Amino acid sequence: MGPELSGTITPLSGVLRGRRAFITGGGSGIGLALAQLLARDGWQLGLLDREPERLLTASRELGSSGAAVIHTYLVDVTDEAAFRAAVADFADRAGGLELMINNAGVAVAGDLVQTTAADWRWALDINVVGVAIGCRAALPFLTKADAGCVLNIASAAAFASSSQMAAYNASKAAVVSLTETLAQELEGTAVRAAVAMPGFIPTRLLETARAPPDALAAAHRLMDASHYPAARAAADMLAACAAGRLYIVLPPAYVHLWRLKRFLPGVFTSLLSRMRRRALAERTRR
């Protein structure tokens, strides 16, 4: 990957000079925030989402932000044929592809006994298989570029396996493992892989979440208390990609938790248990 160009919004625009990106879940949240930054640097963008109104609104916003070209695709990431066709169509129209961002995802909450097999399959199909399909669809085009990157969006839940989140935690941990494997398989090529593990960020993720009322209310409280907006998370992710980092843990305060889990997993698990007991005690006092 080449040196950064001056005068760009994100340093990744100086590294991936072709400036062509495909983003799943691009109609809102982190996906849209990533697209907005790239648009300001004049990227050609392919946006995939399941919500037509979100896609239409996002396309209008990005067009006024400076995106060179915007192509939208109303596709579910679990539809392999349609997903692969969308990526191929964008690469053909844009003349190539340098950046694939697998951002689309869903949330499931509730303890292990409550969470149905159907909800497990729903989460894994979208959060894991959808990411794998996206990687497979993009790699033939990425490997033709002078430099390329696959950015998979996981979650801090991948390492902070808190209670009542088994399906979601497992799906995001799988995305980390998938990306680690892909990074090894890409050695010797001009393509890099990265996985982002953000903490709670105010997005629309919980709008489609499958969860009992108490678990959903707890998730809303944590999201509402976040002081780390999607725009800042997007900027940090793209900067980390430009730096060639495999693991992107954010916000920065979460990095020490990531390190603690990796080097002292037993201590980390005990810490999670204490935090959970404290949260339950506070809820009881209200």
Read off the pLDDT of residues 25-45 as tens digits, 9 standing for 90 and up.
999 999 999 999 999 999 999
Q: Assess if residue 133 is contained within a domain.
A: yes
Question: Tell me, what's the pLDDT at 198?
Answer: 95
Indicate the pLDDT class of residue 163, thresholds 50, 70 and 90.
confident
Top pLDDT among 230 and 91 is at 91
168 catalytic per annotation: yes
Q: What is the mean pLDDT of residues 194-209?
A: 80
Q: Assess if residue 7 is contained within a domain.
A: no
Q: Assess if residue 4 is contained within a domain.
A: no
What span, in angstroms and rounded, lies between the C-alpha atoms of 30 and 153? 9
What span, in angstroms and rounded, lies between the C-alpha atoms of 134 and 132? 5
**Report field, pTM of the whole predicted structure over 0.95:** no
- Count of domains observed in the chain: 1
Q: Assess if residue 239 is contained within a domain.
A: yes
Strand residues in the chain grouped as ranges (E)? 20-24, 44-49, 69-74, 99-102, 148-153, 191-198, 247-250
**Which residues, including other chains, have CB under 8 Å from residue 75's CB and lie 6 or more apart?**
48, 49, 50, 82, 83, 86
Q: Assess if residue 39 is contained within a domain.
A: yes
Indicate the pLDDT class of residue 221, thresholds 50, 70 and 90.
low
| Residue 138 belongs to domain spanning | 12-285
Tokens of 98: 């340098």
Question: Tell me, what's the pLDDT at 81?
Answer: 98
Question: Tell me, what's the pLDDT at 114?
Answer: 87
When mean pLDDT is compared across 107-116, 123-132, 150-159, the lowest value belongs to: 107-116
Alpha-carbon 110 to chain mean position: 22
Q: Assess if residue 43 is contained within a domain.
A: yes
Indicate the pLDDT class of residue 281, thresholds 50, 70 and 90.
low
Q: Assess if residue 134 is contained within a domain.
A: yes
Indicate the pLDDT class of residue 5, thresholds 50, 70 and 90.
very low
Q: Assess if residue 110 is contained within a domain.
A: yes
- Residue tagged active-site, from 168, 228, 247, 254: 168
Span 46-90, pLDDT tens digits: 999 999 999 999 999 999 888 999 999 999 999 999 999 999 999
The closest of 62, 59, 63, 84 to 135, measured between CA atoms, is 84
pLDDT of 211 higher than 70: no
Specify the CATH number for the domain of residue 229: 3.40.50.720
Three-state DSSP class for residue 48: strand
Question: Tell me, what's the pLDDT at 3?
Answer: 38
Question: Tell me, what's the pLDDT at 78?
Answer: 98
